[in-house]
Chains A and B, each alone.
Chain A
């Protein structure tokens, strides 16, 4: 007995000494793990009683990983979490809360969020899978497996660009290590030596599929070789062991030596979720892991070594139970969110005011009438906008494929690398998902990225990152984060490059709440709108048109912005309201000239922004004309013009004098041959015919 105690004391003392931790800190780890366990057991009870609705993926069994890893961080470091995130949220929140009251409040808010209450971390909008505390460095949990790995890389990129010495700790599971995000993100992080530590919690099952059925490798950590970074395997049931390994990796990252992949072998006691019968594993296996319980083993080690008295242990347990009861009572007594809260927190408030709108209206008239204003191309206008905003705000940076020396596939960023250098105009690997996700992470961590996806046809590769994380994080986190990013891309037909490089996919992007979609048609518009998009605090999908880059138009030399969500009447008329955007504006104006000779006076409205949509300008026009024709280069089926038509139907039905007509691309992939492309994409004659028809 005596010998065993001494051996324990020696072992634990060695670990403590090596890591420089005190008995008090050890007791904190014990308390945090215990509190996670109690919380999870309580949630399991609430779920089985049917009190709690929604999914909760419980962390019980894995407590040592979250507590040990986060113990290795500084309070100003950052973390990203997963769908099984209560442990991360508690270890982090408890660590950064300094007083007993603050720690209780944190525990309360976590419990309240799981129960969907207004007092929760995310005001009841996120729930179990989306607890976040961005202001304290918890960039939040995600419901998408592997969804936060690129986000963590972006947050780390932000640290590098801001030259801080903060480190990002990125948790994910064994399942996530088989997603494309994992490979793209680890590659990018290692390439740039970003300060990020990847902690993969291998709890042996991705839902029901065991690791050995999902990979040929025994250890996930072995994959580190592929990215030229260290890979470590650690006992995920030993809080001190984890803390030790992570501390080393954090140190390395902080010193600019780049990321480490740490695999913690661990086990979740509950099923994947409440509805999981756990048929894929044996009782013996569960027993084996429970005997290695991280909480009990730390407790017995400390008791053996005399670092913990039995009465202290009892007191810690009693306090934890009391704390849990308080949190539960707090949550139960907390109000539900108000029904009207449903619409809040989707978008960050606009940066522009009515005055900006009025100013722009006057400027626009001047641009249309003052022939002394210089003429520049659409591409040059984009370059100017980027240059001016990068000079104005050092948080603005560009990254994407071929944006540096090459200057982008259409030359829109040409020359910028010369002025701003390769760390503000960053060439990336071909990794669309991580370009999108890193933009999200960098934006949440304080930068204002302008990411480029070369073709809108490629944006679906980044859709999860931009739409699921970028567009929704603000709402899911109860309005407590902003994601100020711009994705610049270009679309449209006209170069005979067929269906992977010629589409108009804006409707994919207008569909998601939380992201704006801007599609300018002229040099004046593209400059003013891009500057406004960069300054706006919301994610913006900024879709240029490949056939417009060489188009010239008047652009004032002064610093101006065009507030988002203001349409422009490009031509006044009284017989037909022709609503369009992007390159089709030019075709509609040509059609209007032809129709004018026939005595048909067409009003051409350029929406400029699809979201926010300026439906008032459309409705006012229809009140005048009574006739609507919508023109888009997108496939007719579920195109954005349909949405405009639906809104007109709701807002101006009584002003319509004829059924609305749309002119859109045929529902076929954009073909290569010019003659076929002309069939597929609305041409001037089709626009003219629609206008004649609506007047019949």
Chain B
């Protein structure tokens, strides 16, 4: 019996991977541990190794193919065998894949990170939702005491969506336009609406066709597409307000140089501004837990533990590794964890589980001489802090004109969930801790309030 090589489940939410490259030739002799192929999940690259020795028979998958996890991609067996799998990818309807991946796939939400439950819907509701093109996720259940979506719920949801004439639906289908992708703000969508959309898109396409001045043309896919989708959802779902303020960073600068002098050789590194501000923000979040939260539809959940996301620029795009339980970590441990995560993210070896579950995110563009910016909230978190560069500015100081290192902080928050004044108080807290970072030593362990 040939041994099957399959795409393992890399994390709780990873459902498909893209083949980056095959590392072993079809028909070659492999030993356990030999690298066979590299695949990319939404945020990391993994290498799949041979589970046993024998001749590799690759499945009909090539670089760039997107495969559901648990797909058998190759077999290892005797020379005269061929690749054969009961679980050809074409058989992989979503249903069967869910079944085959159980029980491991049963979602056990980590204690601090909530995940959505399975959606219960009556067969009738499912049928009607399918016919009307309404995703079940968007429907609020009322059956069986609010647990099960029933037909009425779908019809209520449908009533909120524009109605399509059958002709419009047909034209849209034939043109390959999905019903969800069209955002026409009308109660009733007719043939004319679809034709208008089609005309516009053809105009765009034809103008692109004659414009040969672009340098490179790539479709938005893979990680870029995921980032795009993530940001789109955030912008759609949140009501963003940006607050900025300027903090005097003199004490912070002085603290950092002291730490550097004292610990650089001892620890092998010295804490960065990002480390210091990360710990300061963690403390401020403990004092103002309403900013340390996640939201789902009608629910907002506040946390006692800080899972701090740090935006990291990598070759493969923006990533946000999460430092779990940041309030429990010493400055040194925090800094070390952050360095490991950033390294892993940049090398593409980061685990998908380290890229989710954040309760607040900070992003730092100070290295690029940016002072003020309005970052997008890392949804379903409810706020994000942008850190500008620390730069000497002319400022009034003790009733005199002075030159002092200053930093501008930009807080973007979801006004649906937090009002301006509490958000401002939170930002003030950060300012206070930056301007007198020794307070943080005490307040970070919650001894003051």
Q: Which residues of A contact B (CB under 8 A)?
A: 626, 653-658, 696
> Does B124 contact A654, Cβ atoms closer than 8 Å?
yes
> Does A657 contact B145, Cβ atoms closer than 8 Å?
no
Given contacts A626-B151, A658-B150, contact A653 B123 (CB under 8 A): yes
A657 vs B123: C-alpha distance in the bound complex, in angstroms? Answer: 6
Closest A residue to B154 using CB positions: A657
A490 vs B131: C-alpha distance in the bound complex, in angstroms? Answer: 48
A626 vs B148: C-alpha distance in the bound complex, in angstroms? Answer: 14
**B64 to chain A: closest CB distance in Å?**
37
Residues of A within 8 A of B127 (CB): 654-655
Smallest CB-CB A-B distances: 9 pairs:
A654-B127, A657-B124, A657-B122, A626-B124, A657-B151, A653-B123, A657-B150, A654-B123, A656-B123
Which residues between 39 and 81 of chain B lie within 8 Å of chain A, taking CB atoms?
A: none
Q: Chain B, 97-128, contact with A by CB distance < 8 Å: what is the 0/1 string?
A: 00000000000000000000000001111110
Residues of A within 8 A of B215 (CB): none
**A531 to chain B: closest CB distance in Å?**
40
Answer yes or no: B143 CB below 8 A from chain A CBs.
yes
Interface of B is mostly: helix
A504 vs B125: C-alpha distance in the bound complex, in angstroms? Answer: 36
> Does A656 contact B143, Cβ atoms closer than 8 Å?
no
**A49 to chain B: closest CB distance in Å?**
39
For the A-B complex with A657-B150, A658-B122, A696-B143 known, give 16 more contacts whose Cβ atoms are closer than 8 Å: A626-B124, A626-B150, A654-B123, A654-B124, A654-B126, A654-B127, A656-B122, A656-B124, A657-B125, A657-B143, A657-B151, A658-B143, A658-B144, A658-B148, A658-B150, A696-B145
Closest B residue to A655 using CB positions: B124
Interface size on B, residues (CB 8 A): 13
A658 vs B150: C-alpha distance in the bound complex, in angstroms? Answer: 7
**A420 to chain B: closest CB distance in Å?**
54
A654 vs B123: C-alpha distance in the bound complex, in angstroms? Answer: 5
**B84 to chain A: closest CB distance in Å?**
31
Residues of B within 8 A of A656 (CB): 122-124
> Does B144 contact A696, Cβ atoms closer than 8 Å?
yes
Residues of A within 8 A of B145 (CB): 696
Among A626, A657, A696: residue with most chain B CB under 10 A:
A657
Residues of A within 8 A of B122 (CB): 626, 656-658
Interface of A is mostly: loop
Closest A residue to B127 using CB positions: A654
Closest A residue to B126 using CB positions: A654
| Sampled A-B contacts (22; CB under 8 Å) | A626-B122, A626-B124, A626-B151, A653-B123, A654-B123, A654-B124, A654-B126, A654-B127, A655-B123, A655-B127, A656-B122, A656-B123, A657-B123, A657-B125, A657-B143, A657-B152, A658-B143, A658-B148, A658-B150, A696-B143, A696-B144, A696-B145
Residues of B within 8 A of A658 (CB): 122, 143-144, 148, 150
A653 vs B127: C-alpha distance in the bound complex, in angstroms? Answer: 10
**B151 to chain A: closest CB distance in Å?**
5
A657 vs B144: C-alpha distance in the bound complex, in angstroms? Answer: 10
Residues of B within 8 A of A696 (CB): 143-145
A656 vs B126: C-alpha distance in the bound complex, in angstroms? Answer: 10
**B58 to chain A: closest CB distance in Å?**
40
**A339 to chain B: closest CB distance in Å?**
28
Residues of A within 8 A of B123 (CB): 653-657
A626 vs B127: C-alpha distance in the bound complex, in angstroms? Answer: 12
A586 vs B28: C-alpha distance in the bound complex, in angstroms? Answer: 77
A654 vs B151: C-alpha distance in the bound complex, in angstroms? Answer: 11
Among A626, A655, A696: residue with most chain B CB under 10 A:
A626
Q: Chain B, 126-168, contact with A by CB distance < 8 Å: what is the 0/1 string?
A: 1100000000000000011100101110000000000000000
Residues of B within 8 A of A653 (CB): 123
A626 vs B125: C-alpha distance in the bound complex, in angstroms? Answer: 9
Closest B residue to A626 using CB positions: B124
Residues of A within 8 A of B143 (CB): 657-658, 696
A657 vs B124: C-alpha distance in the bound complex, in angstroms? Answer: 5
Closest A residue to B142 using CB positions: A696
A696 vs B152: C-alpha distance in the bound complex, in angstroms? Answer: 12
Residues of B within 8 A of A626 (CB): 122, 124, 150-151
Residues of B within 8 A of A654 (CB): 123-124, 126-127
Among B123, B127, B148, B151: residue with most chain A CB under 10 A:
B123
A653 vs B125: C-alpha distance in the bound complex, in angstroms? Answer: 11
A657 vs B150: C-alpha distance in the bound complex, in angstroms? Answer: 6
Closest B residue to A696 using CB positions: B144
**A85 to chain B: closest CB distance in Å?**
50
A655 vs B127: C-alpha distance in the bound complex, in angstroms? Answer: 7
A478 vs B117: C-alpha distance in the bound complex, in angstroms? Answer: 57
**A624 to chain B: closest CB distance in Å?**
11
Closest B residue to A653 using CB positions: B123
A657 vs B151: C-alpha distance in the bound complex, in angstroms? Answer: 6
